[in-house]
Amino acid sequence: MATRVGFIGLGNMGKPMAINLIKARFDLMVYDLRPEPMQELAALGAKCARSPDEIGNHAEIIELVVVDDAQVEAVTFEEGGVLGAAKPGTIIAIHSTVHPRTVRKVAALAEAKGVTVIDAEVSGGERGAYAKTLCYMVGGDKHAFEKCRPLFATSGASIFHLGELGAGAITKLAHNLIVYVNMLAASEGIKLAQTAGVDPAAMEQVVHAGAAQSRIADHWSQQRKLGATYTTGPHGLMQLIHKDLRLALELGHDLGLPLPGAALTQQLIARILEIENQAV
C-alpha cells in the first residue's frame, strides 16, 4: 500500500515537489490557500483537502512548504492545524526556511501527541524541483529521516542528515546567507564592468571561466530576473530574501556572532534585484 502523504504549500517550490510525489505513486493529499494549484494537482491525481487538519487526518507523513514561521505555526498547531487531527506515529517534515526555534516549538507540541517533527529544508529553486536535483538539509530523529528519505528522493539529488533537530534550519540559513551575499558581489562586479564600458555578456563569460565563478555569478543577467517568475513577483522574492536574512541575523545575534555582510546585503536587496523605491 502506498504511503499516505500530506503536502501543504503549492508555490514555486511546493508544486513541483508535490507533482514528483504523484509521479512516484504516493497517496497524496494537498492543501493550499489558492484553489488554482490545488485544481492542477487534482487533475494529476492528488486528493485535495479543505483545511490542514484534513491533511492531518489523512497522512502518515506531512510535508510543509509554506512561506514563513507564522505560516508553519498556523498550519501545525493553531486552530484547524494538522496536529489537531494527526495520529500518533505521524511525521511532519518542515521544508520552509524558518528559525530553528520555530522547528523546536512545533516539535515540542507535536511530541505530546506522539507526532515526530524533522526539519528538512531544501535548496535548488523551482528549476531544481522540476529537475529532481534539490539539496535536502535535514535535522532530527534519524529513524524518521529514513522513513522520509523515499519522499525526498523524488525531488532531491543530495540528501544530508546534519544532526539533531534544528540542524537543517541552521544550515539553510547559513547557506542562504552565502547565496545572498554572493548576489551582492555579482551585482556590483558586473555593474562596475558594464558602467566602465565592458559588455556584460562578455563579463559573465569571464566570471564563468575565472576564480569568481559561482552558480549565482554565472549568467547573472538571468539570475537577477528570477523575481519575474516568482509566484508573488519580484517584490515577493525581495520580501522572502529579506525574511531569510533577518532570521540569519537573529540567529547570529542569539549566538553573539556579528554578521555585517548579511546586514549590508539585507539593506541592498532592492538594488540587487533592480527594484527601485520599494520598502520591505
Catalytic residues: 172
**Those residues with Cβ within 8 angstroms of residue 9's Cβ, 6 or more apart along the chain or in another chain:** 31, 32, 64, 65, 66, 67, 71, 95, 96
**Cell numbers representing residue 255 in the block:** 549566538
- Cα three-residue angle 225-226-231, rounded to 5 degrees: 130
**How many separate helices (H) and strands (E) can be counted in the chain?**
13, 8
CA distance 56 to 86: 4
CA distance 170 to 127: 23
DSSP code for 121? E
CA distance 134 to 50: 29
CA distance 198 to 211: 18
CA distance 3 to 182: 40
CA dihedral over 110, 80, 173, 204, signed as positive or negative: positive
